[in-house]
Amino acid sequence: MIGTFLGMLFGGGRNAIRETVEVFRPNAEAAEVRAAARSAAALSQFASEFALERRGWFDRFIDGLNRLPRPMLALGTLGLFVSAMVDPVWFAQRMQGVALVPEPLWWLMGAVVSFYFGARHQAKTHGLQRSLTETLLRAPEVMRGIGQLEALGHEDAPVEQIAPSDDMEKATVVKPAMPFADNAALEDWRKSRER
């Protein structure tokens, strides 16, 4: 009879108890396996999109060009300072040439540079927003942890402290709020100890 009962519960390679529980609560191990498979699939998709083997020489060349403007602007500006100190006459001649550039051309160059750096800034801003979203998603977990830590801090009885004063005779004893102030029995016990 016991063998029949156990066979009914666990027979045929099945576990009826586990299958019944999984109706109400998902199997944690199976959920982790599914999450790992999903992460692996996402990573393989990203790897296939950004694989260097599939990109031609033109794509690599354009990526290299896209990385040049910022270092060139920074190093060029530093080079202007160095050239002003090394050969002031040469530097003054070049600046006279820059003074002859018409104002609409300056506006055009400003637009090109601002669009280039604006697009870069927008991409960085999206990354920052994604990071902030991930941080906000962890906020409930952090709040639970803080609540648990505060609960640990209230387990011990509060200690009376002396409020500082310039004159020690005027110093007063400060009693912290009781964590169980709404408990009448504890309130009576505390009052009996004060007498």
Per-residue pLDDT tens over the stretch 7-54: 666 655 566 677 777 778 787 888 888 889 998 888 888 777 666 556
121 lies in some domain: no
Q: What count of other Cβ atoms lies within 10 Å of the Cβ of residue 181?
A: 10
Range of the structural domain that residue 6 is part of: 1-51
| Residue of 33, 29, 52 lying closest to 41 (CA atoms) | 33
10 lies in some domain: yes
184 lies in some domain: yes
What is the amino acid identity at position 30? A
Q: What count of other Cβ atoms lies within 10 Å of the Cβ of residue 169?
A: 5
38 lies in some domain: yes
88 lies in some domain: no
Q: Which two tokens stand for residue 137?
A: 């998603």
The total number of structural domains that make up the chain = 2
110 lies in some domain: no
pLDDT tens digits for range 58-92: 888 888 888 888 889 889 999 999 999 999 899 99
Distance of CA 125 to the CA centre of its chain: 13
- Determine which helix (DSSP H) or strand (DSSP E) holds 163, and give its type and residue range: strand 161-163
Distance from C-alpha of 79 to C-alpha of 72, rounded to nearest angstrom:
10
The answer for residues whose C-beta is within 8 angstroms of residue 165's C-beta and 6 or more apart is 171, 172
